[in-house]
Amino acid sequence: MAAFFSDSHYRAKALGAPYAALWQTLERNASGGKRVRPRMVMAAYEALGGTDFDAAAHVGAAFELLHTALIVHDDVIDRDFVRRGGVNVSGRYRDIATTAGIPLPDAEHRGMSVAIIAGDLALFNAYRLIDRSGVDGILRTRLHDLLDEAMFVSAAGELYDVDFALRSGPAGGADLPTVDDILEMERLKTAVYSFETPLQAGAALAGASAAAIAALGAFGRNIGIAYQIVDDLLGVFGDERDTGKTTLGDLREGKRTVLLAHAAAHPEWAEVADLVGSPELTPDEAARIRAVLEQTGSRRFTEALARDFANRAWEALVDPELPDTAREEFRPVVASVLGRVR
């Protein structure tokens, strides 16, 4: 990642300081994450006997760059100007514009416009990092296909998330997304590109059998969904000292989650439905929502669902096609997801 950004920054300088500055902003936004996708690529690669860690690092960086593009554009779609406590690309360029005296609506649109450009740059270069890995021929095509699948599927998930946002809104009415709708959306939007395909890419790069690659893919799909469900649980019930993020954010945003989809099917939900998605939601109101989520059994249901997907992930690892090293490598991943569930 560092090599790619330093090359790009150098190239950008020749086209002007503001363009070089955009690349610096993009690099800042690409750093500081948990690097989940490269970790998955590397873990699968190592567990299946790979030894060329430089090639694996390039493939991991390709998935991370795809992730960078998707979150930068996702923030534009969600009209978010903040990520991980700091301003994101949209926020940075919105602030530059307001400082220059541009009125806020125009400044926000300017920030979002620059973020569209920045996301495009990250997206367009993901393939090239696979080319830089040095692999060629059929394997390179296989890796391209996996990266392609990752992006193709997450775009569908993003589209459905946009649809749900409208259906959950005032005009949504009775047509709320069901628990299954949300699960499918989260699988498409996040699990496939964050877990399933990076694991498959690492395994493919290590020369694993088709059956082993498929088994790791099944593990990734299920652990990815479990991970997402737990994330949504912690977004409402988590301990801010552990998660480091407020438990009001998701509720104020009205984020579409399994937790809320389950609750929405119960009459008690009517009492608090209007509070969800209100940007001024108070801690007391949030507490009322949590109480309803307990009454309706939505919290228990969601926790059980997370455990269920984590167990399915573990079952996939038991596949005889996978070496013990794979089970040793990924047992802690399953454990950490289960550990985050109450």
Residues that bind a second copy (CB under 8 A): 8, 11-12, 15-16, 18-19, 22, 69, 73, 76-77, 79, 97, 100-103, 106, 109-110, 113-114, 116-117, 119-121, 123-128, 131, 141, 144, 148, 151-153, 155-156, 158-160, 162-163, 166, 169, 171, 188
- Cα–Cα distance for residue pair 284/291, rounded to 1 Å: 11
Closest approach of a second copy to the CB of residue 237, in Å = 29
Identity (one letter) of the amino acid at 323? P
Give the nearer residue to a second copy in terms of CB position, either 22 or 42: 22
- Inter-CA distances, 296 with 61, 238, 260, 325, Å: 43, 18, 10, 42
Bridge partners for 82 per DSSP: 87
Q: 33 near 67, Cβ under 8 Å?
A: yes
Closest approach of a second copy to the CB of residue 52, in Å = 20
Closest approach of a second copy to the CB of residue 126, in Å = 8
Give the nearer residue to a second copy in terms of CB position, either 138 or 284: 138
Closest approach of a second copy to the CB of residue 224, in Å = 16
Give the nearer residue to a second copy in terms of CB position, either 189 or 340: 189
Closest approach of a second copy to the CB of residue 168, in Å = 12
Q: 127 near 53, Cβ under 8 Å?
A: no
Taking alpha carbons only, the member of 256, 100, 98 closest to residue 169 is 256
Give the nearer residue to a second copy in terms of CB position, either 164 or 195: 164
Helix (H, G, I), strand (E, B) or coil at 233: helix
In this structure, how many other beta carbons lie within 10 angstroms of the beta carbon of residue 250? 23
In this structure, how many other beta carbons lie within 10 angstroms of the beta carbon of residue 48? 24
Closest approach of a second copy to the CB of residue 232, in Å = 21
- Cα–Cα distance for residue pair 56/205, rounded to 1 Å: 7
The string of DSSP codes covering 29-76 is HHSSS--HHHHHHHHHHHHTT---HHHHHHHHHHHHHHHHHHHHHHHH
Give the nearer residue to a second copy in terms of CB position, either 180 or 315: 180
Give the nearer residue to a second copy in terms of CB position, either 50 or 198: 198
- Cα–Cα distance for residue pair 205/228, rounded to 1 Å: 26
Give the nearer residue to a second copy in terms of CB position, either 119 or 238: 119
Q: Which two tokens stand for residue 52?
A: 């060329």
Give the nearer residue to a second copy in terms of CB position, either 75 or 250: 75
Closest approach of a second copy to the CB of residue 12, in Å = 7
H/E stretch holding 4 reads: helix 2-13
- Cα–Cα distance for residue pair 48/324, rounded to 1 Å: 10
The label of the residue with tokens 């984020």 reads 255
For 58-91, give one letter per residue: b (16+ CB within 10 A) or e: bbbbbbbbbbbbbbbbbbbeeebbebeeebbbbb
Closest approach of a second copy to the CB of residue 11, in Å = 7
Closest approach of a second copy to the CB of residue 160, in Å = 7
Give the nearer residue to a second copy in terms of CB position, either 151 or 263: 151
